[in-house]
């Protein structure tokens, strides 16, 4: 299977610190790892390759952690004559992620799609919309196979869900647990800047590996439930053998984070002996919903475990199940396989 990976991105962002886009990057990592040189990036996505300058990677979103600088620079990748190959339908599929710098720019996206439709039928063009809002253009979606990351409602035969994923090589066994709750408290003006102190990936990952639980939540505005639910932090926590304490997961729309273990994340908040440090009283017997991590106190008040009440055996079982699930479903390869299977199913309708 030959795939042209054709991210729609503003040209002035290709080689800058705006180059990274987790949805586009994680799917490409999975497809390239799975299919090798048969997956051709239109331009070399420099930030994903192992010859990328480490100092440049540190300037990217997320400080160059997790998805960046991993792929071998395969000399067999043939980027010559791509325009002629498109015109001659050389590729089996065109996969077209919409880079975050163009999110919501429907005229540009529609124009690109109109060009491709001159040469390819709509069942061979796959648009991947990684925008963290539920808006989409229905006319564009009808002209391709349309994958979208944030979905508010089911759109049968029109939209396929997709999410971030994590490279398999980033999954690590947990270390001896020394933190009840990881020090990093996300999405909080009061605590995030003070707790996101990591300048290297090892120290960032190791704090999660040493923690029983780690806070995570949706990004974006608290009052808008349709945006910001998918976040690489969720996957990083799981990959480190740590259980996410997902403060607001109960409000996640049904068709967003479709392959993420949402139900398990709700249940772990009911574990006996676990006391998150919340600004308002928290009683999981009434509701497990807390709101975003802005509701978590900072420092030593961020939460604790009463080990006289805590079932560590249950915790270890759940943690092992989550790590197994992550390896099977949440890696870039797992997502790439699921992506290709659903494209096949779409074409068999």
Convert the pLDDT of each residue in 96-121 to its tens digit: 999 988 888 899 999 999 999 999 99
pLDDT for 101 equals 83
pLDDT for 188 equals 55
Whether 49 contacts 119, CB under 8 Å: no
- Within 10 angstroms of residue 37's Cβ, the number of other Cβ atoms is 12
Q: What is the pLDDT of residues 178-219, one digit of tens each?
A: 999 999 998 755 555 566 778 899 999 999 999 999 999 998
- Within 10 angstroms of residue 314's Cβ, the number of other Cβ atoms is 12
Q: What is the DSSP letter of 328?
A: I
**Average model confidence (pLDDT) for the chain?**
93
- CA neighbours within 13 Å on the CB side: how many for 183? 14
Prediction pTM value: 0.95
Q: How far apart are CA 211 and CA 204, in angstroms?
A: 11
Lowest model confidence (mean pLDDT) among 28-37, 130-139, 255-264, 313-322: 130-139
- Within 10 angstroms of residue 103's Cβ, the number of other Cβ atoms is 16
Closest of 160, 135, 290, 149 to residue 230, by C-alpha: 149
What is the phi/psi pair of residue 17, to 5°?
A: -75, 5
pLDDT for 190 equals 54
C-alpha distances out from residue 281 to 157, 182, 261, 271, 297, Å: 44, 21, 26, 17, 12
State the pairing for strand pair 125-129/39-41.
unpaired
Stretch 90-100: mean pLDDT: 95
Per cent of the chain over pLDDT 70 is 96
Provide the angle, in degrees to the nearest 10, between the axes of the packed helices 201-209 and 232-239: 60
Query: Residue 291: is its pLDDT beyond 70?
Result: yes
User: What does 240-287 look like in DSSP terms, one character per residue?
Assistant: TT-EEEETTGGGS-TTSSTTS-HHHHHHHTT-TTEEE-BSS---TTT-
């Amino acid at each position: 299977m030959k795939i042209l990976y054709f991210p729609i991105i503003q040209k002035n962002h290709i080689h800058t610190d705006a180059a990274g886009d987790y949805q586009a990057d994680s799917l490409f990592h999975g497809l390239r790892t799975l299919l090798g040189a048969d997956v051709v990036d239109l331009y070399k996505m420099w930030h994903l390759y192992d010859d990328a300058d480490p100092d440049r990677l540190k300037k990217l979103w997320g400080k160059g952690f997790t998805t960046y600088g991993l792929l071998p620079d395969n000399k067999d990748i043939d980027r010559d004559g791509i325009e002629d190959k498109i015109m001659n339908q050389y590729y089996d599929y065109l996969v077209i992620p919409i880079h975050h710098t163009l999110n919501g720019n429907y005229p540009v996206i529609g124009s690109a799609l109109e060009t491709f439709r001159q040469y390819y039928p709509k069942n061979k063009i796959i648009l991947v919309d990684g925008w963290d809002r539920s808006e989409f253009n229905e006319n564009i979606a009808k002209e391709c196979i349309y994958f979208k990351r944030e979905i508010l409602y089911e759109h049968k035969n029109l939209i396929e869900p997709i999410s971030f994923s994590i490279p398999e090589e980033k999954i690590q066994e947990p270390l001896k647990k020394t933190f009840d709750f990881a020090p990093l408290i996300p999405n909080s003006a009061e605590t995030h800047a003070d707790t996101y102190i990591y300048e290297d990936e090892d120290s960032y990952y190791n704090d999660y590996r040493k923690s029983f639980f780690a806070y995570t939540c949706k990004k974006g505005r608290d009052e808008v439930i349709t945006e910001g639910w998918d976040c690489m932090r969720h996957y990083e926590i799981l990959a480190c053998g740590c259980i996410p304490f997902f403060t607001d997961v109960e409000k996640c729309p049904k068709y967003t984070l479709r392959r993420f273990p949402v139900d398990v994340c709700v249940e772990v908040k009911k574990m006996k002996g676990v006391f998150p440090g919340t600004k308002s009283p928290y009683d999981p017997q009434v509701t497990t919903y807390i709101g975003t991590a802005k509701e978590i106190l900072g420092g030593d008040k961020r939460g604790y475990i009463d080990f006289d009440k805590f079932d560590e055996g249950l915790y270890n079982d759940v943690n092992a199940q989550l790590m197994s699930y992550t390896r099977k479903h949440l890696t870039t390869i797992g997502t790439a396989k699921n992506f290709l299977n659903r494209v096949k199913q779409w074409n068999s309708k």
